[in-house]
Structure 1
Amino acid sequence: MAANMVRNRAWIGIRRYGLPAYRRFSSGGTYPNIPLTSPLPGVPKPVFARVDGQEKYETKVTNLENGLRVASQNKFGQFCTVGLLINSGSRHETKYLSGISHFLEKLAFFSTKRYGSKDEILLTLEKHGGICDCQTSRDTTMYAMSADAKGLDDVVSLLSEVVLQPQFSEEEMKMTRMAIRFELEDLHMRPDPEPLLTEMIHAAAFRENTVGLPRFCPTENIEKIDRNLLHSYMNNYFTPDRMVLAGVGIEHDQLLECAKKYLLGVKPVWESGSQRSIDKSIAQYTGGIVKVEKDMSDVSLGPTPIPELSHIMIGLESCSFLEDDFIPFAVLNMMMGGGGSFSAGGPGKGMFTRLYLNVLNRHHWMYNATSYHHSYEDTGLLCIHASADPRQVREMVEIITREFTLMAGSVGEVELERAKTQLKSMLMMNLESRPVIFEDIGRQVLATGKRKLPHELCTLISKVKASDIKRVATKMLRSKPAVAALGNLSELPDYDQIQAALSSKDGRLPRSYRLFR
């Protein structure tokens, strides 16, 4: 009965108002017969939102009287990401035991003057649906939280406590030492050698100075680092003039008010009144080689064995991110591209980059060929990581040195435009993420006091010419190579041979070496 009533009402509606638009223009009474390129008759036109100006949400920066910089960018959404970035990292440990930054990363968000344990901090953050994280690199320490924007006051209060009032109890120090030992063991056991090779290539390129100092705590220093040493380091480097409070997804005035409330005039727990001693050393590129002979035959991922591989990384000095040549180097790195021989995907993943076309596609025995670009405020390093069977290490090295020398040769218009488009695409896609925007704002303001907006960077990328690529590559090839080698290295050429190959026109190892080894 109910079904009959519904049908009767529908029939009355059709007689009174006619068939719906999509039914009146359908064939067979089921699907519309209107092409997708034409608007449906009777359907109102959509009204799209409009953005006023090129950048609706600009990045605002304010300097407080104690030297702290507050930077923010509003963004539509319920949640915000807020954090403190500090000009402090493993490169600043010259006068200290290496490993302090590693300890500070592991000790983050533990007990403070106000909160008795990490659980109390997490419960407070949980009320606002928040998460927290701390990451240290060679030049930056970053404490960050993502939470509901309504809880901004609590978030900044927590940041102030975590950064300025940590307790570093004996129990926490003991737990941290255990965590670091486990991480160091894992670093040498994991199938992916990239983190270890990155450490080695920096140690080779900047021997015993600044960014060449170890990012991970050496085993012999684990028991030597204590609370007093950490406080001494923080007294020098955790100062307001070396900090940026960055936020995304909140009003600038709100963040500024919270910064004045919780970060202005606050006395840190470590403040001793002693004179500060800050290391202002400029990175000195040295070049050189770091080798680690290691049996890679036992490395496996679950029940599936991984082939025994030898890993080589060769790098040359590039430039800092403050120089104009940084953009051409970024385009060059994208043009080289590369990846693993089993990478899935298509052109969007870089299958038309040089290391795919010239290396992985032509040499089936190469398991990996990837380009990396590390850039800092005073130097940079462009390197290529390659992996192959130990018996083919010599040939693999020659292939990589040849690719380096070809960088200074001719650059095709199509490959250059593809690299620039891919770089811009990657930049814009990454900046769709709120945490990435936060880190971008914080790092740029920490280094330069301002932020270049995405459209400005895209304009600079578009201006890069083939002559710029050739110029920066030619300049780079004048530097001594940095070499990191891991695994069975019985077929590895001598450092002098690698340097000679990079200095030659074709990138080949010296003939005498190749014939009579």
Structure 2
Amino acid sequence: MSKQLSSAIARHVLPFTRRANNVAMPLISRMNKHQQASLQSDDFIKAPEQVVAKSSIPSTSTTTTTNSNSSIASRVTKLPNGVRVATEDSQGHFASLGVYVDAGSRYEDDTTRGVSHILDRLAFKSTKNRTSEAMMADLEAAGGNVMCSSSRESIMYQSALLPQDLPQMLAIMADTIRNPAVTEEELEEQRVSAGHEIQEYWSKPEMILPELLHTVAYKDNTLGNPLLCPVENLETMTTENIKKYISTWYRPERIVVSAVGADHDKVVDLTHKYFGDMKSLAPAVGSGSGSEEASGSDSANKGGIFKSLFGKTGSSSASSGVLKPDFNTLSRQPAKYTGGTLLIEDDTQPFTHLFVGFEGLSIHDDDIYALATLQLLMGGGSSFSAGGPGKGMYSRLFSNVLNHYNWIESCMSFNHCYSDSGLFGISGSCYPGYETMLLEVIVRELELTTRTGKGGIAQGELDRAKNQLRSSVLMNLESKMVQLEDLGRQVQVHGAKVPVEELCAKIEKVTRQDMVRVARRVFGGQVASLTGGSGEVTIVGQGLTKNLQGAEKVLDKYGLGKNAKW
């Protein structure tokens, strides 16, 4: 448990990039006074003194673990086929339900590039058992809000609802997950919609540059796969591509059903009813004509991701037919950090935007608590921030940068955290002509955190950052939907949930020495010793960027990068 970190941090303090497709149903408003009065006695709300009944599933067929070291106890049950059920007994009038699939863009290859983007848009459409009209009618009858979102490492189906509607909602989720119709008409509709979404992303540097940052940092592998479907793949993608992706990755051992505010044993019974008969496919073998054809396609489309991101037309292996993904290779392939530089010259931009990043830490690393604290300590924001309590006005990037340089529009730290790697750094934007000065300011602020003396981290700012981190986690967990995702993702990644009390205690133990050590570890490229990454810096810019060529010399000036000596 010492290596686990609440995904409340990963989700809100260390946000992983994600995109969501909301299916907004009428807000839960059909609860009358009688229902409000009787909610606490509902079958899916367990009173504190109530004794939990044994699940109707034979005890020999499941494995159940209970975490009672927290103020809110969590329970996890593993069904015989590998599906895991996780619940927390949180009192209230509403419940939340989610199904989390260990899939996403990092598991795509040339034959399935962009499928997870389209797949989350096809959620809650027609199935083999329901027409699209029937699906909409059933969702309206259940009430609440439903959504599907995809990230690099997970596809999430979630709902906020009344407790008594949980059985119906889980049946709907199981249907859309296991039996999607994926018709040509629905796919064409999502092609048009996704095309508009991609155009919107490209029109906003603050949205597309984090994507480009990942593409450069993990060139041609795993976390570098784009969240957005490449433009050329929108036209060549077929319903068979999508169905093959589902059959490959939607396996019972890769699924977690999570619920908050519901009785555990009842949720286990329902999960067994709707997912218990799922069979895991035999692992795909990475050999044969299919794999050979895919390999040839890789060679023909080397750099295809970059062509897609720049909107250029390129050939797509998806057009050559449906190829079965190599499950063994893709499911075990570690993230390979490469680093690199990508500068997009664009004199139409009112500001020059710049990202400077290094390989960060995975969610399993013991130092993740110190790195999360460092991200809060550096903070940052926009020059037009309203300020006020909790807005980061006393963070380093506000105090040292935004309050001193009126030519800087924004400056903030970022931390993307994943199961086996991460990205940490600073992004900023400035008026054209100041880009080289912006680069130097960013690198200087990173270097200051590695010092033990003048300019280094003071005890007062460390205490403030730790308090802010703890309060941010606790405040976010006030939301049942955040609590739900925190539970589901932790069980998906770790197999259990870290009690929030343990998490806060680990944050409190972070010292100034820990902060300096972790800063040197990240900004000196030392993470590569564990991950096999390059240790190089990643630099991405858009605007007037021609003066940023040779930016590595600035890092050498301040002693950062893989050649750093402390």
Identify the TM-score tier after normalising by the shorter chain. Answer: 0.7 to 0.9
C-alpha separation between the residues in 2 aligned to 1:504 and 1:102?
Answer: 36
**What corresponds to 2:541 in structure 1?**
485
Contact 1:204 1:482 survives alignment (8 Å): yes
Contact 1:477 1:503 survives alignment (8 Å): no
C-alpha separation between the residues in 2 aligned to 1:388 and 1:170?
Answer: 45
Residues 222-371 of structure 1 mapped to structure 2, 5 A cutoff? 222-266=234-278, 277-278=327-328, 279=330, 280-297=332-349, 308-371=350-413
Contact 1:392 1:491 survives alignment (8 Å): no
Contact 1:338 1:371 survives alignment (8 Å): yes
Aligned residues: 442
Contact 2:77 2:84 survives alignment (8 Å): yes
AA in 2 matched with 1:360: L
Equivalent residue of 2:433, what SS? helix
Residues 32-71 of structure 1 mapped to structure 2, 5 A cutoff? 55-71=70-86
What do residues 171-219 of structure 1 show as CA deviations (whole Å, max 9, x unaligned)? 00100111111111111224xx222111111112111111011111111
Shift of 1:294: 2.5
Is 1:216 aligned to 2:228, yes or no? yes
C-alpha separation between the residues in 1 aligned to 2:150 and 2:123?
Answer: 11
Contact 2:337 2:359 survives alignment (8 Å): yes
**What corresponds to 1:387 in structure 2?**
429
AA in 2 matched with 1:111: S
C-alpha separation between the residues in 1 aligned to 2:555 and 2:340?
Answer: 10
AA in 1 matched with 2:461: E
AA in 2 matched with 1:139: E
Match of 2:414 among 368, 372, 376: 372
5+ residue gaps, structure 2, are 1-47, 50-67, 286-325, 526-535
AA in 2 matched with 1:325: D
**What corresponds to 1:138 in structure 2?**
152
Shift of 1:94: 3.0
Equivalent residue of 2:259, what SS? strand
Shift of 1:450: 0.2
Shift of 1:427: 0.4
Equivalent residue of 1:491, what SS? helix
What do residues 237-276 of structure 1 show as CA deviations (whole Å, max 9, x unaligned)? 11010110011111111111110111110479xx899767
Shift of 1:221: 1.0
C-alpha separation between the residues in 2 aligned to 1:210 and 1:504?
Answer: 26
Is 1:435 aligned to 2:481, yes or no? yes
Equivalent residue of 1:322, what SS? coil
Shift of 1:347: 4.1
Match of 2:188 among 174, 177, 190: 174
Match of 1:77 among 88, 92, 111: 92
**What corresponds to 1:459 in structure 2?**
505
**What corresponds to 2:166 in structure 1?**
152
**What corresponds to 1:503 in structure 2?**
559
AA in 1 matched with 2:219: R
What do residues 443-476 of structure 1 show as CA deviations (whole Å, max 9, x unaligned)? 1000010001211110000000000110011111
C-alpha separation between the residues in 1 aligned to 2:157 and 2:379?
Answer: 31
Contact 2:355 2:540 survives alignment (8 Å): yes
What do residues 121-155 of structure 1 show as CA deviations (whole Å, max 9, x unaligned)? 23212223221101001111101122111011101
C-alpha separation between the residues in 2 aligned to 1:360 and 1:445?
Answer: 40
TM-score by structure 2 length? 0.75
Shift of 1:324: 0.3
Contact 2:411 2:427 survives alignment (8 Å): yes
**What corresponds to 1:403 in structure 2?**
445
Shift of 1:504: 5.4
Contact 2:401 2:441 survives alignment (8 Å): yes
Change (3 A) 1:291 1:124: same
Shift of 1:408: 0.6
C-alpha separation between the residues in 2 aligned to 1:333 and 1:152?
Answer: 38
C-alpha separation between the residues in 2 aligned to 1:274 and 1:384?
Answer: 41
TM-score by structure 1 length? 0.82
C-alpha separation between the residues in 1 aligned to 2:404 and 2:489?
Answer: 40
**What corresponds to 2:129 in structure 1?**
114
C-alpha separation between the residues in 2 aligned to 1:254 and 1:239?
Answer: 22
Change (3 A) 1:56 1:490: closer
C-alpha separation between the residues in 1 aligned to 2:225 and 2:554?
Answer: 24
Give the structure with higher Rg (CA).
1
C-alpha separation between the residues in 2 aligned to 1:56 and 1:203?
Answer: 41
Change (3 A) 1:248 1:108: same
Contact 1:85 1:143 survives alignment (8 Å): yes
Match of 1:103 among 118, 126, 135: 118
RMSD in angstroms over aligned alpha carbons?
Answer: 2.2
**What corresponds to 1:468 in structure 2?**
514
Change (3 A) 1:464 1:378: same
C-alpha separation between the residues in 2 aligned to 1:377 and 1:83?
Answer: 20
C-alpha separation between the residues in 2 aligned to 1:246 and 1:368?
Answer: 38
What do residues 27-82 of structure 1 show as CA deviations (whole Å, max 9, x unaligned)? xxxxxxxxxxxxxxxxxxxxxxxx99974431110000010000011212222111
Shift of 1:364: 1.3
| Bigger Cα displacement from structure 2, 389-398 vs 72-81 | 72-81
Equivalent residue of 1:312, what SS? strand
5+ residue gaps, structure 1, are 1-50, 298-307, 508-517
C-alpha separation between the residues in 2 aligned to 1:272 and 1:235?
Answer: 11
Equivalent residue of 1:419, what SS? helix
**What corresponds to 2:288 in structure 1?**
none
Change (3 A) 1:330 1:56: closer
Shift of 1:95: 5.2
Shift of 1:165: 0.4
Structure with more relative contact order (C-alpha pairs < 8 Å, separation 6 or more) = 2
Equivalent residue of 1:348, what SS? coil
C-alpha separation between the residues in 1 aligned to 2:138 and 2:549?
Answer: 57
Equivalent residue of 2:355, what SS? strand
Contact 1:210 1:281 survives alignment (8 Å): yes
C-alpha separation between the residues in 2 aligned to 1:504 and 1:229?
Answer: 44
Shift of 1:83: 1.2
